[in-house]
């Protein structure tokens, strides 16, 4: 799952998991699998020959060398090293509180976020109405509004089409990139 808004592509390693379960779900294998899918999609669907991926840390300040958690040392850094050994450009884990400002976003093409809110808060902060959800790694292109169906407001006259329009535009751009490739 990739969420986009403006120049941010935030991809999830875990999806809709309780925060208490996330540390157990974060494994070298799961991170590597997600990063490979994102890397291939950046090439195939976005035309980026050598994608630059960023990896968000789980703990504040990327764990501060183990003083605020060991996940970065035991899982995230080994995953990033394994991916680099495969030729994928990816950072070591970076503190999430400094990963999403304008200058930081200019340093990567997509970011791997470890859990739901780590990705969706910056996406929705950048463009609440125009965010898009894209499912990567499929043989077909699949995009949708990032907020879901909105059944609670259906028929009330308050729904906005911004995200739907952005989803259709992104699907068109991805299709054009695939056709050109």
Q: Where are the domains of the chain?
A: 2-180
Backbone torsions φ then ψ of 106, nearest 5 degrees: -70, -15
- Give the model confidence (pLDDT) of 165-179 as tens digits: 999 999 999 999 999
Q: What was the pLDDT predicted at 149? A: 74
- CA 89/CA 52 separation, integer angstroms: 5
DSSP classification of residue 19: G
2-180 belongs to which CATH class? alpha beta
Residues 61-64: contacts with CB under 8 Å, at least 24 apart: 61/95, 62/92, 62/93, 62/94, 62/95, 63/93
Task: Classify each residue of 44-58 as buried b or exposed e, where b means 16 or more C-beta atoms within 10 Å of its C-beta.
Answer: ebbebeebbbbbbbb
What is the residue-averaged pLDDT of the chain? 96
Crossing angle for the helix pair 77-85 and 28-46, nearest 10 degrees? 50
- CA 93/CA 58 separation, integer angstroms: 8
Q: For residue 77, give both structure tokens.
A: 């850094």
H or E element in which residue 52 lies: strand 52-56
Inform me whether the pLDDT recorded for 48 exceeds 80: yes
Residues 80-87: contacts with CB under 8 Å, at least 24 apart: 80/31, 80/55, 82/28, 82/32, 83/31, 83/32, 83/35, 83/36, 83/53, 86/36
Inform me whether the pLDDT recorded for 148 exceeds 80: no
Q: Which of 84, 119, 104 is nearest to 1 (CA)?
A: 119
Inform me whether the pLDDT recorded for 72 exceeds 90: yes
- Give the model confidence (pLDDT) of 97-146 as tens digits: 999 999 999 999 999 999 999 999 999 999 999 999 999 999 999 999 98
- CA 161/CA 83 separation, integer angstroms: 38
Q: What is the pTM of this model?
A: 0.94
Residue position matching structure tokens 């890397």: 39
Q: What is the mean pLDDT of residues 8-36?
A: 97
- Give the model confidence (pLDDT) of 149-161 as tens digits: 778 888 899 888 9
Q: What is the mean pLDDT of residues 14-34?
A: 97
Query: Percentage of residues in the chain with pLDDT exceeding 70?
Result: 100
Q: What was the pLDDT predicted at 151? A: 84
Inform me whether the pLDDT recorded for 147 exceeds 90: no
- β-pair type (2-5, 52-56): unpaired
């Amino acid at each position: 799952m990739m969420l986009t808004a403006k120049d941010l592509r935030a991809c999830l390693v875990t999806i809709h998991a309780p925060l208490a379960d996330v540390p157990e779900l974060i494994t070298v294998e799961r991170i590597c699998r997600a990063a490979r899918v994102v890397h291939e999609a950046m090439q195939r669907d976005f035309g980026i020959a050598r994608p630059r991926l960023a990896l968000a840390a789980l703990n504040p300040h990327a764990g501060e060398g183990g003083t605020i958690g060991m996940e970065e040392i035991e899982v995230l850094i080994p995953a990033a090293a394994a991916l680099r050994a495969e030729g994928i450009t990816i950072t070591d884990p970076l503190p999430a509180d400094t990963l999403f400002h304008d200058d930081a976003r200019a340093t990567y093409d997509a970011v791997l976020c470890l859990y739901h809110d780590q990705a969706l808060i910056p996406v929705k902060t950048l463009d609440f109405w125009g965010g898009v959800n894209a499912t990567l790694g499929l043989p077909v292109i699949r995009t949708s509004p990032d907020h879901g169906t909105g059944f609670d407001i259906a028929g009330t006259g308050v729904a906005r089409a911004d995200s739907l329009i952005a989803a259709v535009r992104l699907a068109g751009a991805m299709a054009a990139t695939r056709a050109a490739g």
